[in-house]
Amino acid sequence: MNKEEIPTGSVVEFLQDQAVQTAVVIGTKNQRLMVLSENNKEMNVSKNRILQIIGPKLDPTQKRDELISTLQEISKRRKTLAESVNVEELWTLLEEEATEFSAKELAGFVFTEPDVDKMAAVQRAVLEDRFYFQYKSGVFSPRSRENIEQRKIQAQKEAEKKRLLELGASWLKDISEKDANTTTINEDLAPIIEKLKDFALHGNNSVHLAFVKEIFKQANLNLDPYLALRLLIKTKVWREDENILLYQYDIRREFPEDVQKHAETIAATEPKDPLDNKRVDFSNIWTVTIDGEETRDIDDAISFEHLPDGRIRIGVHITDVSAYVEHDDPVDREARQRMTSLYLPDEKIPMLPSVLSENVCSLVATQRKRAFSFLFTLTEEGKIEEADIVPSFVCVDERLTYDQVNRQLDDHPTLKKLYELSTRLQEERKAKGAIIFHVPEVQALVMPSGVVMLKRYNQDEPAQTLVSEWMIAANALAASFFRKYGIPAIYRCQGEPQSEDIISGSSEHHLFTVLNQRRLLPRAELSVDPSKHCTLGVECYVSITSPIRRYVDLVLQRQLRHFILEQKPFYSQDELDLIITEINSILPKAYFVSRKWNRYWILKYLQQEKIRFAEALILDQNDRVMHVVLPDYMLETSVLKRGYETFATGQIITVRVEKVNPREDIIRLQVV
């Protein structure tokens, strides 16, 4: 029967949600059919959706219940017949036939005397199978074997997705309704959890957004990354204080197995270093390391000795990591991906495996170690007359902390002299234009018990000055060495600050002054071309004193080693340019994670100690908002004005802590 001539009362079939529906035509409207389906629904259906087999014809004046009952009987009969149709067998019979078949013709291959029901049954079986035949313009054609396999694979994926959606929605609904989760996490939930993690980390940018959106919808939950995070914490998939920044910025804690094994092989095998024949032995010279109390990866030491001619020689000794980590070995490749060690309040993520960073390469007291020594020969008054760089052996006599040095300074003549000489270095830098100001740092430390402590570091303390000045001297000496001999290097450069002395606002508070001065400074940049570093007051500068913790330092140490051995550089200028590009891509992310995670734990400290009031220093303001810093915690944030206060920029005010939410980085303050 022609579809253009489908009379009222005809039984028709059409696809609805990939299933065949049986209906009776009860009228026409605007060239569309009005039908009553077997599910007792009146529908408006385009004639193009009607399948080829039409009939039998019913009396549309029958009672509605009788019509529906008849339709259901027809549908049931056809469904039973369809179940007896082996579609794959039918396809095998016809797969070599490059032709098209009507439903009536297909039925002829299955039934000896096909009637309307049998033709409709074959049509139904082939359409609902969806694998073996293609349906287009009312006819069927056999698919190729390759196409069938592809469709089966896709169907399996869709079935698995549907199963996961139902499972995920049920699980989310269950855990969201319980005060404490008791759901056992099994293997079936693993792919759902991974998708939920990705959404918690990336929100609307998650590659699994559509999937998560559907399971949240089915579970009657608001689509919210923070809610996903809380549910993952509730189920103990993540800890309460899980550092999700590490996942967001792709910073991994653990070393790959091949990297760890290679590091262990290095540690177990003492290398035959060709540079050993050129090393100067300083192992009998008094040498000390000065670091934080928690530091285990010690890469620098300082020695002091009186020379026979009455002069003083200071040695800055940097552990020779390049003797152990070769270019492009597994450890070096991993270090290049990390670029730096991360020291977080609750964990350390080293650049090198600990078997190297805390053992083989670390300047552990009483152990003889390979190093590069930056030697400064000075008059008793502190004038540097000679400076040199040599490969060496060193043996640290004593490990000291910054606090110990500060306490012992007056009673330890050598430390006192080292400090006095360092202040002389600082004064000389000032005379050359160095800008010396110290911004205190507040570092959160998480104890094994979970208690948060805060430690304040003041950069102008004697021990800090002693170490930093001699490290600056060593780095500047290395930069001059590279420039003198035309060795390609990665220089740290900084242009002159803005002409203003200070941003508008008056304050007697030192912190206000130094923070505003810091804002005037241009960013330091890395370059293969040597130029001045204005803040440090040196003509050229590199970073080479922390090869355990910074990849750029290891690169320059390797460059120095190769020049001493071969009288030529290891890296070309183009290779160093590429490394600079990688550094500029990776390091900002690492530093951002470090700052944000320290801030998280400082906010946790405010919660832990139930801090209600604090001092705030106004850094800037407009008619509605004040930008402030809390000096005791070095936290910067904003405070809304209530409309009637008048405060001066640079003024100290008292604020009440109204709300703290570390996870969402919220600290809400109100002026008292």
State residue 672's pLDDT score. 86
Residue 658: pLDDT band by 50, 70, 90 thresholds? very high
* Distance between CA atoms of residues 443 and 27, nearest Å: 79
Highest mean pLDDT: which range of 53-62, 148-157, 227-236, 583-592: 583-592
State residue 185's pLDDT score. 75
pLDDT tens for 264-308 read: 999 999 888 999 999 999 999 999 999 998 899 999 999 999 999
Angstrom distances, CA of residue 142 to CA of 85, 105, 106: 16, 13, 11
Residue 536: pLDDT band by 50, 70, 90 thresholds? very high
* 588 burial level (CB within 10 Å; 0-12, 13-18, 19+): exposed
Structure tokens at 532: 């001045």
Q: Which helix (H) or strand (E) holds 206?
A: none
**pLDDT > 70? residue 133:** yes
Q: What percent of the chain has pLDDT over 90?
A: 68
pLDDT tens for 565-608 read: 999 999 999 999 999 999 999 999 999 999 999 999 999 999 99
* Distance between CA atoms of residues 35 and 43, nearest Å: 5
State residue 130's pLDDT score. 85
State residue 125's pLDDT score. 92
**pLDDT > 60? residue 505:** no
Identify the weakest region by mean pLDDT among 15-19, 254-258, 469-473, 576-580: 15-19
* Distance between CA atoms of residues 211 and 578, nearest Å: 39
**pLDDT > 80? residue 508:** no
Per-position DSSP letters for 477-492, written without gaps between them:
HHHHHHHHTT----EE
What letter would DSSP give residue 362? S
Contact of 318 with 429, CB cutoff 8 Å = no
* Distance between CA atoms of residues 332 and 650, nearest Å: 48
Of the candidates 524, 539, 490, the one whose C-alpha atom is nearest the C-alpha of residue 339 is 490
Report the 3 state secondary structure along 242-284: CCHHHHHCCCCCCCCHHHHHHHHHHHHCCCCCHHHHHCEECCC
pLDDT tens for 615-653 read: 999 999 988 899 999 999 999 999 998 876 788 999 999
CATH for 610-671?
Answer: 2.40.50.140
Over residues 372-385, the mean pLDDT reads 95
Over residues 428-451, the mean pLDDT reads 91
State residue 540's pLDDT score. 96
**Cα angle, residue 386 at apex, residues 530 and 397 outer, rounded to 5°:** 100
Structure tokens at 87: 């579609």
Contact of 304 with 282, CB cutoff 8 Å = no
Angstrom distances, CA of residue 466 to CA of 364, 407, 419, 462: 20, 14, 5, 6
Residue entry with tokens 């590009």? 581
Characterise 314 by phi-psi region: left (phi > 0), alpha (psi -120 to 50), beta (else): beta
Structure tokens at 478: 């290395």
State residue 479's pLDDT score. 98
* Distance between CA atoms of residues 340 and 325, nearest Å: 15
Structure tokens at 265: 């092989």
At 641, which amino acid appears? K
Residue 503: pLDDT band by 50, 70, 90 thresholds? very low
Over residues 216-232, the mean pLDDT reads 93
232-238 long-range contacts (CB < 8 A, ≥24 apart) are 232/193, 232/196, 232/197, 232/200, 234/175, 234/180, 234/181, 235/175, 235/181, 235/183, 235/185, 236/181, 237/185, 237/193, 237/197, 238/197
Residue 181: pLDDT band by 50, 70, 90 thresholds? low
| Beta-bridge partners for 35 | 25, 43
**pLDDT > 50? residue 502:** no
* Distance between CA atoms of residues 218 and 171, nearest Å: 11
State residue 506's pLDDT score. 46
State residue 655's pLDDT score. 95
Contact of 363 with 369, CB cutoff 8 Å = yes
pLDDT tens for 582-594 read: 999 999 999 999 9
Over residues 514-521, the mean pLDDT reads 84
State residue 223's pLDDT score. 93
State residue 136's pLDDT score. 87
Residue 437: pLDDT band by 50, 70, 90 thresholds? confident
Contact of 606 with 660, CB cutoff 8 Å = yes
* Distance between CA atoms of residues 163 and 152, nearest Å: 16
Residue entry with tokens 């355990």? 548
* 420 burial level (CB within 10 Å; 0-12, 13-18, 19+): middle
How many CB atoms are located within 10 Å of the residue 70 CB?
18
CA dihedral (605, 611, 617, 619) positive or negative: positive
* Distance between CA atoms of residues 346 and 312, nearest Å: 42
Q: Mean pLDDT score of the chain, rounded to an integer? A: 91
Looking at the chain, the domain(s) classified CATH 2.40.50.140 span: 610-671
